[in-house]
Structure 1
Amino acid sequence: MSARRVARVQLDSPVPQLDRLFDYAIPHPLVSEVVPGVRVKVPLRSAGRMMEAYVIEVVADDGTERPLSSIEAVVSSMPVLPERLFTLARRVADRAAGSVSDVLRLAVPKRMVRAEKAWLAAPPPEAPVVVEAARVRADAVLAPYAGLVDTLDDGGRVAVDAPPHPSGDQPRGAWADLLAAAAVHTLARGRSAVLVVPDYRDQAQLMAALSELGPDEAVVRDDADQSGPARYAQYLRTLAPVPVIVVGRRSAVYAPAHDTGLVAIWDDGDSLLAEPLAPGVHARDAALVRQELEGSALVFAGHTRTTDVQRLVEVGYVRESATKRRTSPRVVLSATREGESRTARVPSSAFAAAREALAHGPVLVQVARPGYAPSLVCADCRRPARCAHCAGPLRAARPGATPVCAWCGRSAHAWTCGHCGSVKLRMASSGSERTADELGRAFPNTRVIVADGTHPVAEVDADPALVIATRGAEPLARGGYRAVILLDGDRMLQNEALRIGESCLRWWSNAAALAAPGAPVHLVGVAGPVARALATWTQPAYARAELVDRAPLRMPPAVRVASVEGHARSVDALLTELREAVPDLDALAVLGPVDTSAPPDTPTSRALVRFDYAHGRAVAEALRAGVIADALRARKSTKDKGPRPRNTLRVRLDLPEPDL
């Protein structure tokens, strides 16, 4: 009689105590179907129900004749979880003190039966062929970057300063041509490339650049904009044993492409690359883990340099690569001249530049906020105008309109200032619509286009127009804008966030890169280190200075920061266990805990833990062990007494900035 076969499975469950491999006996009729990577259904005796799981490995029984539950059924015969993806998910989850099932939920799309049947019935894809002309063209794009080709071939890590200009007369940035060339160069060597971008507009630019180099059949999309069947079919394409180019957003960093030779992250400072779902791992960190496991090349490209990447450069883990001949936009720091009103929103120099540029093409004006009047204040005491019902901020859709609360939506028909009793309101700032109204009157007979979250515009033509856009929503212009004016910079810098200077520099640099070569870029009313970095186009130097300033203050990314929140007793117990498990922690490593409870809920608190990178593994293991222990205690205390309490421990690592 043959030995019993045992499947080691990973349950599809976020429950922390179930985050490990479980052994199940394979019934004789399912021996041929249960292979590593397939989905199965298994009984969970402790919960008294069936659960889906992934088969990680199949082994022979160890001969102890231990009692094992049997696999109930095979959900699909398609192996959708290759070993390389599980290994990556496990390593990422361990680094973030999270569950591997949470990572797999991001990486593996939901099964679509029809798409799967169509894939299994179709002939296997053939290996793509890169024509010689495309390979030569790609290498020509890469040639100006010192050592970049060698880094791609050797599997190194590099931070690239992207070219800050459009791609000829095409409605895309030259950065897209650079990443597309790197991907085609990798594909020509018979290896896959994974390109990760923040949003759909960046993805569209990259797809357009790849379409000019080809081959189209090798390009795979990975994003949630596709239908469920289409996304699942694209995922199955990445599992085929032939090289591909995967272009997607943050979850694409886990794409299980065959023999990955390149992972590239565009604009890693964009908040869209930070995963909001547990365990909250940034695409940049997942890419670093993947590169370490697979030995592929890793490219961080952008118009600016985040302090996170700069730290890696400083320690020698990532090298720098810039063009041999440096190019940069023509940035002008505009301020009010003598005789001009200091309240003038657009100085005369910027106004004149816009008027001259409108004779040749479109002009971009970047503003801080959408809407007409993003904020209202009392006309007498200048206190912010608040709703009488919920204390929310009041907004005005147009001049003379009744103010409306941004929180509860109530109209403030008879508003009265709670501080001075005045009934008069004043617009404290101008949004995109008000700016368009004002500049439309200043430039009569000129087309005005508003681009913001309410009015998305992807592209404008080369005809003269004033384009008023909020940060991050700037449309692309064929051949680039003839002038760029950056307004509200002083207001943007007033934000209290730790990384606000870094963020402003990224917003302004990305907008400046939309200008045509030689076109003026006016930064209005801003001075200091951020303005100088933009004017001299020395963003890495600014990131280096920021890193130096944060190190003595023990602020990220000089150190890693974790948050712990939940029941007050659980938080205190976890912090005690953490200090015992990692005695080398600094005496000031823990900030808090602070009370976050709101009656009538049970007492809750939150604490921050700052620790050096050398202690990363020990801290993550201790925090994860504490979460599991707390979950087991909660289960034991509530057994047969109703549902588990809602406020169990929650842990999140690598916060971008401390915030108690």
Structure 2
Amino acid sequence: MTVQRVARVLVDSPLPQLDRLFDYAIPDALAGEVVAGIRVKVPLRSAGRMIEAYVVEVGVADASARPLSELDSVVSPVPVLTPALWTLARRAADRAAGSAGDILRLAIPRRMVRAEKAWLAAPPPGAPVVADEQHAWALRVLGAYPGLADAIAAAERLAVDAPPAVARLADGTPVGEWAELLAAAAVDTLARGRSAVLVVPDHRDRAQLEGALAARLPAEALVRDDAKQPAPARYSAYLRTLADVPCVVLGNRSAVYAPVNAPGLVAIWDDGDPLLSEPLSPGVHARDAALLRQELDGTALVFAGHTRTADVERLVQLGWVREIAATRRRSPRVVLSATREGENRGQRVPSAAFAAAREALADGPVLVQVARPGYAPVLVCAECRDPARCAHCGGPLHAARQGAAPACSWCGRTAHGWSCPNCTSTRVRMAASGSERTADELGRAFPGVRVIVSDGDHAVLTVDEKPALVIATRGAEPLAAGGYRAVLLLDGDRMLLAEDLRIGESCLRWWSNAAALAAPGAPVHLVGVAGPVARALATWTQPAYARSELADRGPLKMPPTVRVASIEGERPRVEAAIATARAAVPELDSDAVLGPLAHGEGVRALVRFEYALGTRVTASLRASVVEAAVSGRRPPRGRGGGPRNTLRVRVDVPDLDL
């Protein structure tokens, strides 16, 4: 009897009901081409069309099974989906109540035919060789943290507080010392014949780490993987990670899934940065994906940063992650700068901070961190102080420059003839100073001094050692050769007023990252802020602040002490999903559900649950999503597509506002 071979495939579709493996018969004409991991085309009966899919397994058909449809064609002979990547994608999707296909869409770049043909035609890459002197350098750098090199070799989970200082590469380029620390960990891992995956939030961090690595590794060993690359270059880089030799992958959040050979290290820099939280479904944070990968692949896992997130600190407290401290503790000289007696209480730059900036400008650059870009990002009525809003869309009005007519930040319309709906006044006043207005004001206060603005519209990566006032928004601070001679952290009180559960943690991260750019012994003035966050910065005890945050959030059942899932959709669907979850997981507390409340065109509810209940809760919510997708309303005739998905679920939501 002839044995029928079948391919078990995952179709590339966003429909939740298709998030499972389907069996297709392998025709004789394709018998020698179909292997696990390749892309193929298969017929989809429900849609009456061909669709791309990944071959996950190749096996033998069940004798009692009904007749199977056949594979249509092979799209590419390259096995881009490795068994390890499939397992990781499936685990990450199940944990987040999402689809594995959505994970793979982030992890595997779109196919580029020319890049693929060039890769197939080229000889396979050779094993990279790390020079003895570079390996010795790496061990010296890691030696500042006793036991770190051995812990990485033993594949442990580690939390490391990075040194708050600026170093110089051989060509004089300034980089944070954290970049040299992670580069040393990668060099040591590669020297042991294992691959390293380094994940950073944005292009600024990537440039620093790439510079530190380029001087220590063979060029062919360093693979860049991020979304800003041209599509052919990114696909070529992905194909390089599939080679049977180790490498070092450097990229943004999606790089955590890179299917490298012999993985030995996954390192996450600054895991509190929101850029590491995936906005696309199913919204798996790079930190959570790295934890899953460490468990599956047995790699070392390093969380490094100038601050400690409450999420990582929770794992440290549980003993799941081990903290390794440096031999010599270093910290910036932080000054809590307040207004003195006789000074205006609302003065933006107190006399002590002003004097420190003036003295430092004699030697080199001074960094001034502000909250917002632009000139006057917030306008209010000059009479009643109500926020000035656009008459067309209700968006906030701002001033692009001194004397300019107010314009809407949302729709861009110029608000000619604006009047306050509360008091009918036609005058506005500036309620906040952006980076450009701050540069204007400080430029007048320090005549003859260069003024450099660095924000979203004016990207500056580095500045020289000459005197200059560098006005930067949070996260956009350039590196200064030798470090800044003084750092002024303005608008801290306004930053802390943001309605965000983690605003204290975020502010501490912004300020710590800026303070780490100061030269040794240079003053760092935090203006107008007191309380626990200010004390944590002044004493450089960020882990202690994270512990206090955990202690405060525990009784309130707020993340990360518990997990939270958001359910959005039509009220009947949301209520049915909640009822199903309560029936499936009777251990859920009586106050586990918040809502549902009106949200957009439907309602939204939050479900809080313990980590131990996560598998059952997410499975129940996922089943509700699939049921809603299968039985949902169909779009109007002529619109095309399948049933409309009327239920959306996201687990571990970053924003808890109902």
Superposed pair shares fold, TM > 0.5: yes
Given that 2:180 and 2:209 are in contact with CA atoms closer than 8 Å, whether structure 1 keeps it comes out as yes
Is residue 2:19 matched to residue 1:19?
yes
After TM superposition, give the deviation of residue 398 of structure 1 in Å: 2.0
Show the counterpart of 1:298: 301
Given that 2:370 and 2:471 are in contact with CA atoms closer than 8 Å, whether structure 1 keeps it comes out as yes
| CA distance in 1 between partners of 2:328 and 2:376 (Å) | 44
| CA distance in 2 between partners of 1:552 and 1:539 (Å) | 21
After TM superposition, give the deviation of residue 641 of structure 1 in Å: 11
Given that 2:634 and 2:644 are in contact with CA atoms closer than 8 Å, whether structure 1 keeps it comes out as no
Show the counterpart of 2:276: 273
Show the counterpart of 1:80: 80
Partner letter of residue 613 of structure 1? Answer: Y
Given that 1:561 and 1:657 are in contact with CA atoms closer than 8 Å, whether structure 2 keeps it comes out as no
Please say which of residues 40-49 and 638-647 is displaced more in the overlay. Answer: 638-647
| CA distance in 1 between partners of 2:396 and 2:24 (Å) | 57
After TM superposition, give the deviation of residue 162 of structure 1 in Å: 0.2
Given that 2:635 and 2:644 are in contact with CA atoms closer than 8 Å, whether structure 1 keeps it comes out as no
Show the counterpart of 1:648: 646
| CA distance in 2 between partners of 1:183 and 1:637 (Å) | 51
Is residue 2:177 matched to residue 1:179?
no
Show the counterpart of 1:229: 232
Given that 2:633 and 2:644 are in contact with CA atoms closer than 8 Å, whether structure 1 keeps it comes out as no
Show the counterpart of 2:158: 158
* Equivalent residues in 2 for 1:125-140, closer than 5 Å: 125-140=125-140
Any unmatched runs of 5+ in structure 2? none
After TM superposition, give the deviation of residue 387 of structure 1 in Å: 2.2
- Per-residue CA deviation, residues 145-164 of structure 1 (Å, 9 max, x unaligned), is 13211210111101100000
Given that 2:632 and 2:645 are in contact with CA atoms closer than 8 Å, whether structure 1 keeps it comes out as no
Cα distance, 1:31–1:513 mapped onto 2, change above 3 Å:
same
After TM superposition, give the deviation of residue 14 of structure 1 in Å: 1.4
Partner letter of residue 466 of structure 1? Answer: L
Partner letter of residue 608 of structure 2? Answer: R
| CA distance in 2 between partners of 1:351 and 1:415 (Å) | 37
Show the counterpart of 1:284: 287
| CA distance in 1 between partners of 2:126 and 2:230 (Å) | 25
After TM superposition, give the deviation of residue 335 of structure 1 in Å: 0.7
Any unmatched runs of 5+ in structure 1? 599-603
| CA distance in 1 between partners of 2:338 and 2:423 (Å) | 34
Cα distance, 1:643–1:181 mapped onto 2, change above 3 Å:
closer
- Per-residue CA deviation, residues 568-601 of structure 1 (Å, 9 max, x unaligned), is 1111111111111111101100111112354xxx
Is residue 2:337 matched to residue 1:334?
yes
| 3-state SS of paired residue (1:213) | coil
* Equivalent residues in 2 for 1:208-247, closer than 5 Å: 208-247=211-250
* Corresponding residue to 1:494 among 494, 497, 505: 497
Given that 2:634 and 2:643 are in contact with CA atoms closer than 8 Å, whether structure 1 keeps it comes out as no
| CA distance in 2 between partners of 1:642 and 1:200 (Å) | 40
* Equivalent residues in 2 for 1:56-67, closer than 5 Å: 56-64=56-64, 66-67=66-67
* Corresponding residue to 1:544 among 540, 544, 547: 547
After TM superposition, give the deviation of residue 383 of structure 1 in Å: 1.6
Given that 2:629 and 2:644 are in contact with CA atoms closer than 8 Å, whether structure 1 keeps it comes out as no
* Corresponding residue to 1:360 among 360, 363, 372: 363
Given that 1:330 and 1:519 are in contact with CA atoms closer than 8 Å, whether structure 2 keeps it comes out as yes
Given that 1:557 and 1:656 are in contact with CA atoms closer than 8 Å, whether structure 2 keeps it comes out as no
Report percent identity of matched pairs: 70
Show the counterpart of 1:347: 350
| 3-state SS of paired residue (1:300) | strand
* Equivalent residues in 2 for 1:372-383, closer than 5 Å: 372-383=375-386
* Equivalent residues in 2 for 1:289-438, closer than 5 Å: 289-438=292-441
Is residue 2:616 matched to residue 1:626?
no
| 3-state SS of paired residue (1:75) | strand
After TM superposition, give the deviation of residue 291 of structure 1 in Å: 0.4
Cα distance, 1:634–1:391 mapped onto 2, change above 3 Å:
closer
Given that 2:38 and 2:79 are in contact with CA atoms closer than 8 Å, whether structure 1 keeps it comes out as yes
Partner letter of residue 239 of structure 2? Answer: L
After TM superposition, give the deviation of residue 407 of structure 1 in Å: 2.1
* Corresponding residue to 1:614 among 607, 612, 615: 612
Show the counterpart of 2:204: 201
Please say which of residues 492-501 and 650-659 is displaced more in the overlay. Answer: 650-659
- Per-residue CA deviation, residues 175-223 of structure 1 (Å, 9 max, x unaligned), is 0000000001111110000000000110110010011211221000001
| CA distance in 1 between partners of 2:326 and 2:205 (Å) | 22
Cα distance, 1:657–1:557 mapped onto 2, change above 3 Å:
farther
| CA distance in 2 between partners of 1:278 and 1:299 (Å) | 26
Is residue 2:450 matched to residue 1:450?
no
* Corresponding residue to 1:531 among 529, 534, 549: 534
TM-score by length of 2: 0.97
| CA distance in 2 between partners of 1:112 and 1:597 (Å) | 39
| CA distance in 2 between partners of 1:595 and 1:93 (Å) | 28
| 3-state SS of paired residue (1:190) | coil
Given that 1:638 and 1:644 are in contact with CA atoms closer than 8 Å, whether structure 2 keeps it comes out as no
Show the counterpart of 1:554: 557
| 3-state SS of paired residue (1:264) | strand
Given that 1:262 and 1:298 are in contact with CA atoms closer than 8 Å, whether structure 2 keeps it comes out as yes
| CA distance in 2 between partners of 1:64 and 1:577 (Å) | 34
Show the counterpart of 2:573: 570
Partner letter of residue 605 of structure 1? Answer: V
| CA distance in 2 between partners of 1:613 and 1:625 (Å) | 19
After TM superposition, give the deviation of residue 388 of structure 1 in Å: 2.7
After TM superposition, give the deviation of residue 642 of structure 1 in Å: 7.0
| CA distance in 1 between partners of 2:8 and 2:462 (Å) | 51
| 3-state SS of paired residue (2:267) | strand
Given that 1:567 and 1:647 are in contact with CA atoms closer than 8 Å, whether structure 2 keeps it comes out as no
Partner letter of residue 212 of structure 1? Answer: A
Given that 1:145 and 1:324 are in contact with CA atoms closer than 8 Å, whether structure 2 keeps it comes out as yes
Is residue 2:502 matched to residue 1:475?
no
| 3-state SS of paired residue (1:552) | helix
Partner letter of residue 358 of structure 1? Answer: L
Please say which of residues 182-191 and 632-641 is displaced more in the overlay. Answer: 632-641
Partner letter of residue 634 of structure 1? Answer: G
Give the number of equivalent residue pairs: 655
* Equivalent residues in 2 for 1:95-106, closer than 5 Å: 95-106=95-106
After TM superposition, give the deviation of residue 436 of structure 1 in Å: 0.3
Given that 1:375 and 1:393 are in contact with CA atoms closer than 8 Å, whether structure 2 keeps it comes out as yes
After TM superposition, give the deviation of residue 68 of structure 1 in Å: 0.5
Given that 1:556 and 1:657 are in contact with CA atoms closer than 8 Å, whether structure 2 keeps it comes out as no
CA RMSD of aligned residues (A): 1.6
Given that 2:277 and 2:286 are in contact with CA atoms closer than 8 Å, whether structure 1 keeps it comes out as yes
Partner letter of residue 413 of structure 1? Answer: H
Show the counterpart of 2:256: 253
| 3-state SS of paired residue (1:579) | helix
Please say which of residues 643-652 and 46-55 is displaced more in the overlay. Answer: 643-652
| CA distance in 2 between partners of 1:635 and 1:337 (Å) | 65
Show the counterpart of 2:35: 35
After TM superposition, give the deviation of residue 503 of structure 1 in Å: 0.3
| 3-state SS of paired residue (1:155) | coil
